[in-house]
A and B are shown apart, each in its own frame.
Chain A
Amino acid sequence: MPIKVEPVEVNIGPQHPSTHGVFRMVAKIDGERIVDVKMVVGYLHRSMEKLAEERTFTQNIPFTDRMDYLAAMSGNLGYCLSVEKLANIEVPERAQYLRVIFGELQRVASHCMATGAFINDCGAWQTPVMWCFRDRERVLDLFEMTCGARLTTNYMRIGGVAFDIPDEFLPALEKLVNDELPKAFEEYEELIVGNEIIMMRARDVGVVTPELAINASLSGPMLRSAGIAWDIRKADPYCVYDRMKFDIPVGYNGDAYDRMTIRIEEMKQSLRIIRQAVGDLPGGAHKTDVPLAIRPPAGEAYSRVESPKGELGFYVVSDGGPAPYRWHVRAPSLINLSVLREMTVGQTIADAIVTLGSIDINVGEVDR
């Protein structure tokens, strides 16, 4: 007969290595099992949506770096697309290809980080995460070469990109895409995907059913792990994604292991896209001439991109002034967290850590 014990509340976070930032999870446990989970967020809240109302459209681009600071390029891109949609601005071909290249490089960097941190959460302390960091650094070196910054890149502009790529960029990129990263991904496959310990650790942990995934507005690898092939790059192509050939990896079980393998497969697909984009990269201007203090006509626009975390949407309302009247961010990290309770209740604390790691949240984006 099981012994009944009093439920105990355990605080995981706000300062805890496995919460990926200042995120607090209050787990009520009965013995080893979790019976209830409460999440507390807001420690990193900077009220960007309010701040943006007092700054020009161009001045708001750096905010998007600081939301998802592991995928700054995707944030830049999503925001610039929404303002371009509002103001009806044509972007030159070269800029569109550069946006695709940098968006995909950013996906590789972000997924490297997610994979490494996930393995860390599984208990493989430090070595795998350092391998992933090594490959992420290689991508960040390219960012630094182009725009001078590694994390908060502030690279996209309304109407194009800030700088053209330097001469030494393409040789370095080709070496990375054709040689260094494919080798690294082979290592990942051997070390992680086929690893029996990881399989036993992550299989059937944090399961999401397809019905729940759609009802809870999940996106990105979270949605695809449940077997739904939904990718904004395919469904609602922006930039020149409609000219690229790539596949959408999907999972079947909706568990943590599926999400991790999807990320590794997505990185390979990103390399495929980058190779095509580099091959077709046209010449010409990297930016159209757009006024720095742009005043889009009064109206509203919603545009979305597939960021590494999921569907990143920007809803911009303009009243004809130099600053947005209202600016709302559809943050995939926050919305993906809405199933945390369903995923973790009934599991052990150790599995909850793995589940949280597999959601791949970024607290900068959760709190904004």
Chain B
Amino acid sequence: MPHPRTMLLSGEEVADRIRRSLPEAVQSANDAYVVLEPERMYEAMRVIRDDEQLDGKFLTQLCSVDMVTRIDMVYHFASLAQNHLFEVKVPCDHEHPVVASITPLWSGAWLQEREVYDLMGVHFEGHPSLTRIFLWDSFPGHPLRKDFMSLPGGQKPGLSQFPKQVSGQTGQEFRPKNPGTGQ
């Protein structure tokens, strides 16, 4: 029976199911997501797709996050039959990020993996046509990396210079005092 409203599977539930067939494939798991071992990820992804309970037939989206010391690949899978959603992460090296391509399993991944390759510079092993998609071939660097386009001295333009947390600041001080008058 499908859930009346999309249920979010916790990372532990997903990890349990994967561990049944691949005990070593799971690195860690928490409430929100499960982290896979990069070396075993392709087999784990196959389990995610073919497992009866996980039923991740629908690849909702995939993207990447630059965590400065590593790059995280983030996958969201959905089951249309059971109406649930879960998140899977695969960490990879920051200097030479390589993960296995899941395009052979989900054909919907091929454009999204090209996008990640173009903007974040992650190489996908086994991808049928890994070329840049948005930028031209000779474009220097990968724009979504955090070190792309930093100013001299490691500073970045814009908001990154703002302090992360300011005590007592709510943002109200940015509101105009008399709206409409420019003051």
| A contacts, CB < 8 Å to B | 41-42, 45, 47, 49-50, 53-56, 212, 214-218, 228, 230, 235-237, 242, 291-295, 300, 302, 304, 311, 313, 315, 317, 319-323, 325-326, 328, 330, 334-335, 337-339, 367
Contact = CB atoms under 8 A, between A and B. Distances in A.
B170 interface: yes
A334 B119 contact: no
Given A216-B107, A292-B174, A367 B134 contact: yes
A335 B111 contact: yes
Contacts of B65: 317, 325-326
Interface in B85-134: 85, 87, 106-112, 115, 119, 132-134
Given A237-B5, A292-B174, A45 B134 contact: yes
| Chain B interface residue number, banded | 35 or more
B138 interface: no
A41 B133 contact: yes
Interface in B2-33: 5-6, 32
Given A215-B108, A293-B171, A326 B61 contact: no
A54 B134 contact: no
A216 B106 contact: yes
B66 interface: yes
Given A215-B106, A217-B109, 18 more contacts: A42-B133, A42-B136, A47-B143, A49-B144, A56-B159, A216-B106, A217-B108, A236-B6, A242-B5, A291-B170, A291-B172, A295-B171, A311-B60, A323-B159, A328-B61, A330-B60, A330-B61, A339-B107
Contacts of B57: 214-215
B80 A228 contact: yes
B114 to A, nearest CB: 10
A212 B108 CA distance: 9
Contacts of A321: 159-160, 162, 164
B111 A322 contact: no
B21 to A, nearest CB: 21
A216 B59 CA distance: 8
Contact of B108 (A55, A218, A302, A313): A218
Given A54-B158, A330-B61, A335-B111, A294 B106 contact: no
Leading 8 A-B pairs by shortest Cβ distance: A291-B171, A217-B108, A54-B158, A236-B6, A293-B171, A42-B134, A330-B61, A328-B63
Given A236-B5, A311-B60, A330-B60, A323 B171 contact: no
B84 to A, nearest CB: 10
A346 to B, nearest CB: 17
A292 B107 contact: no
Given A214-B80, A293-B174, A320 B164 contact: yes
A189 B74 CA distance: 44
A53 B158 CA distance: 9
Interface in B47-70: 57-61, 63, 65-66
